[in-house]
Amino acid sequence: MTARYDWTINQGETSQLTVKRADSSGSYNNTDFVANFRMQIKDKYGGTAVFTSAASNFASPFDDGSGGNAEQQNSTVQISLTSAETAAIASGKYVYDVENYDSATPPVVTRVLEGSLIVKPEVTTSA
């Protein structure tokens, strides 16, 4: 079962969400950790994408380069949207999902998170 989280962000503000694998069945595919995640935000199911992620939108918050706790590192991903990215999304209600994928043959895709996304309008903007 896919985890559900209804995410509210402020337009023009940096927003982060940390997702931890809820079960003990293993870790996310981490051959190239951040390159194995993708996310889209759409105006409705089957609708137009208003945001498509890049590898820079994902990080392992527990990867300090020392090897650390591999289980924690490989079961947690942090999604970050920059202030410029959130400013480019019009205020309103959207749907999104995050997938972990392995480009093996055949590809293996697992949806790890889904939900609605509300973008609250920005009031203070630069002149």
List, for residues 41-100, the tens digit of each pLDDT value: 999 999 999 999 998 898 877 665 555 555 555 677 889 999 999 999 999 999 999 998
| Nearest-angstrom CA–CA distance, 57 and 121 | 22
Instruction: Please write the tens of the pLDDT for every residue from 66-75.
Output: 555 555 556 7
| Nearest-angstrom CA–CA distance, 16 and 68 | 22
Which amino acid makes up residue 36?
Answer: N
Residue 124: pLDDT band by 50, 70, 90 thresholds? confident
CATH topology of domain 3-120: Immunoglobulin-like (2.60.40)
Global pTM value: 0.81
Find out whether 99 and 112 touch, Cβ atoms under 8 Å. yes
Please give the share of the chain, as a percent, with pLDDT higher than 70.
76
Distance of CA 70 to the CA centre of its chain: 20
